[in-house]
Amino acid sequence: MRSLVGGTATIAALLLASCASTPPAPGPGVELITYKTSPGGPICEPCETLAFTAASDGRVWVERGYSLPGEHREWRTVRHRRQVTPEQFARFREALAAYRPVGERRMTDAPPCKTFTYDLAQVTLTWRGGGPDGLLQYDFGCDLEAPEDVPMALMIAPTLLGLEHPDGPSAPRAPRGGPSR
């Protein structure tokens, strides 16, 4: 009986923890923007990802994934929730507004890319509420003959919420034995 109670408490704690880090469906008047990176190809040292959902009411659910150098089979995930100001969310939304498609737009191969370099990171953005739903998938190996500010704008957008793209120029790397953030 004692192990049943202990097991039940453990399961309840895990369920509560997962609920705290899972963004809800958008309520009336709430806009959600989800930003998710994927590592570039099979060779990354260390590999890191960033996924978060930012709500127009200031709530942000963040998930960072990483593997330590030489330990690619052991993926680790760290989740937390944070709060941002309405002004921070507005700047983030405005920075991405030019890239918000109606429906889906995938720029992950040729075409639409004029040339394409494989094994680079990707970012997927989704918008719900605050206008038509949209999904943008962009591979940083895609050359659309667009100005360089397009991939840079997508890479630095998380900094407007106090987060950083894992491949950003000043992104700290995960130390052996623990997450970078």
Find the angle CA(6)-CA(8)-CA(9) to the nearest 5 degrees.
Answer: 65
pTM of the shown model: 0.74
Mean pLDDT of 141-167: 78
The pairing of beta strand 134-139 with beta strand 103-107: parallel
Q: Which of 39, 33, 94, 97 is nearest to 59 (CA)?
A: 33
Question: Contact, 120 vs 139, CB < 8 A?
Answer: yes
Name the range with the highest mean pLDDT among 4-8, 92-96, 155-159, 174-178.
Answer: 92-96
Residues 105-116 have pLDDT tens digits of 998 877 778 877
CA distance 53 to 61: 5
- According to the CATH classification, is domain 2-161 in 2.30.30? no
- The enclosing H or E element of 61 equals strand 59-66
Give domain limits for the chain: 2-161
**Both structure tokens of 142:** 């895609």
Q: Which of 168, 178, 164 is nearest to 68 (CA)?
A: 178
Contact partners, residue 40, CB within 8 Å, separation at least 6: 119, 120, 121, 122, 140, 141, 167
Q: Which of 30-39, 53-62, 125-134, 172-181 has the lowest mean pLDDT?
A: 172-181
> Which residue bears the tokens 């737009």?
105
Q: Which of 81, 68, 65, 49 is nearest to 162 (CA)?
A: 81
**How confident is the model at residue 119, as a pLDDT?**
76
Q: In this structure, how many other beta carbons lie within 10 angstroms of the beta carbon of residue 83?
A: 10
Partners of 8 in beta bridges? none
**Both structure tokens of 99:** 């890239």
Confidence of residue 146 (pLDDT cuts 50, 70, 90): low
